[in-house]
Amino acid sequence: MNSQTPAGTLGTNGVVVVDPKSIPDVQSLRDTRQIPIDKVGVKNVVYPIRLKTRDGGEQTTVATINMYVSLPHEQKGTHMSRFVEVLNDHAEAITPDEIPDMTRAIRERLDAADAHFEASFTYFVRKQAPVTGMPGMIDYKVTFEAVSSADGKEDFVLGISAPATSLCPCSKEISQYGAHNQRCEIEAKVRFDGTLWIEDLCEIAERAASMQVYAILKRPDEKFVTERAYENPKFVEDIVRDLALTLEDDDRVTWFSINSENFESIHSHNAYAQITRDKRDQ
């Protein structure tokens, strides 16, 4: 127990407001352990965000957000409530190009050498069925990972995860008829220069599969996607290689880490392949 006693005036909700200056600031105490901390902050903050879309519109979605700063060895604790305050200040329209500003704002408000901002959320893109043109909505998982450093270094990684269809070339080749196929999840994380929309990266990723998936398929569409997947068999290795080729050729992309996880219809485990390349090394 301790010696704190409430003292002050009535605040909102009719409670006694204590003068904040009279309350000890434990976090600001000096720490003597000589251990700096790489990242400290808040994790799994669920928050609504509004994003600009490629077609000039806007989209509101639900993000799970982590915000961290580095902490020098002599400081006992960070001020956790300030992270969410920065989020409140920037909530009106978070777009990929505003993430660096927000990450810088975290660094400044927390008076830190480095700040990290991470968000993951569902992003919807309208897509028409391939034959009938029926409209539908595909949900992609998107991630932002940003770093801002006091020395001016900034970093931003955009990630997407796109569902798609993979059809096994071996199964097709060795079987009299049919071929096992399955949903796969293609993930692409990129560093880039210039403008790269979420929509751009989703399209690039799903073009590497045997076939795209759709929200609505009428019978002529189902015939089309079935036949196209059969005509376009790909191992999990082929998917990541074809995606790597496209990203190698895209001048905006300076670094990429891509993978595909195929939920094999003939096994209870998954097939997986992964490639990471830093084009700046070349």
Smallest separation (angstroms) from its own copies to the CB of 10? 10
Q: Which two tokens stand for residue 71?
A: 């902490």
Q: Does 81 bind its own copies (CB under 8 A)?
A: yes
**For residues 152-181, which are near its own copies according to CB under 8 A?**
163, 165-167, 169-181
Tokens 């795209």 map to which residue? Answer: 212
Work out how close the CB of 94 gets to its own copies at its nearest, in angstroms, rounded to a whole number: 14
From the list 215, 119, 114, the residue with the least C-alpha distance to 163 is: 215
CA 194/CA 198 separation, integer angstroms: 13
Q: How wide is the angle at C-alpha 193 spanned by C-alphas 128 and 249, nearest 5°?
A: 65
- Single out the segment in contact with its own copies by CB under 8 A; choices: 102-110, 150-158, 196-204, 261-269: 261-269
**52 forms part of the interface with its own copies (CB under 8 A):** no
Q: Is residue 53 part of the contact set for its own copies (CB under 8 A)?
A: no
Q: Nearest 5°: phi and psi at 111?
A: 55, 55
Neighbours of 83 (CB within 10 A): 23
- Interacting span for its own copies (CB under 8 A) from 12-20, 95-103, 145-153, 191-199: 12-20
Stretch that binds its own copies, among 95-103, 143-151, 152-160, 238-246 (CB under 8 A): 238-246
Give residues 55-74 in contact with its own copies (rule: CB under 8 A): 59-62, 66, 68, 71
Residue 266 interacts with its own copies (CB under 8 A)?
yes
- For its own copies (CB under 8 A), the number of binding residues is 123
Q: Which of the ranges 104-112, 147-155, 187-195, 219-227 carries the binding residues for its own copies, by CB under 8 A?
A: 219-227
Q: Which is nearer to its own copies, 124 or 197 (CB)?
A: 124
Task: Please identify, using beta-carbon distances, which residue of 28 and 195 lies nearer to its own copies.
Answer: 28
Q: Is 9 in the site for its own copies (CB under 8 A)?
A: no
Give the other-Cβ count within 10 Å of 218's Cβ.
13
**Nearer Cβ to its own copies (170/195):** 170
Report CA-CA distances (Å) from 124 to 53, 121, 138, 142.
Answer: 10, 10, 6, 10
Cβ 134 vs Cβ 220: under 8 Å: no
State both tokens at 181.
């196929």
Contact 67/83 with Cβ under 8 angstroms?
A: yes
Q: Which of 6, 56, 57, 194 binds its own copies (CB under 8 A)?
A: 6
In the range 108-147, which residues lie near its own copies by CB under 8 A?
A: 121-122, 124, 128, 130-139
DSSP string covering 148-208: EETTS-EEEEEEEEEEEEEE-HHHHHHSSS---EEEEEEEEEEEESS---HHHHHHHHHTT
Could you tell me which of 279, 182, 276, 199 has the C-alpha nearest to residue 236?
182
Q: Which of 30, 92, 193, 219 binds its own copies (CB under 8 A)?
A: 219
Could you say whether residue 89 binds its own copies (CB under 8 A)?
A: no
Q: Closest separation between CB of residue 100 and its own copies, Å?
A: 22
17 binds its own copies (CB under 8 A): yes
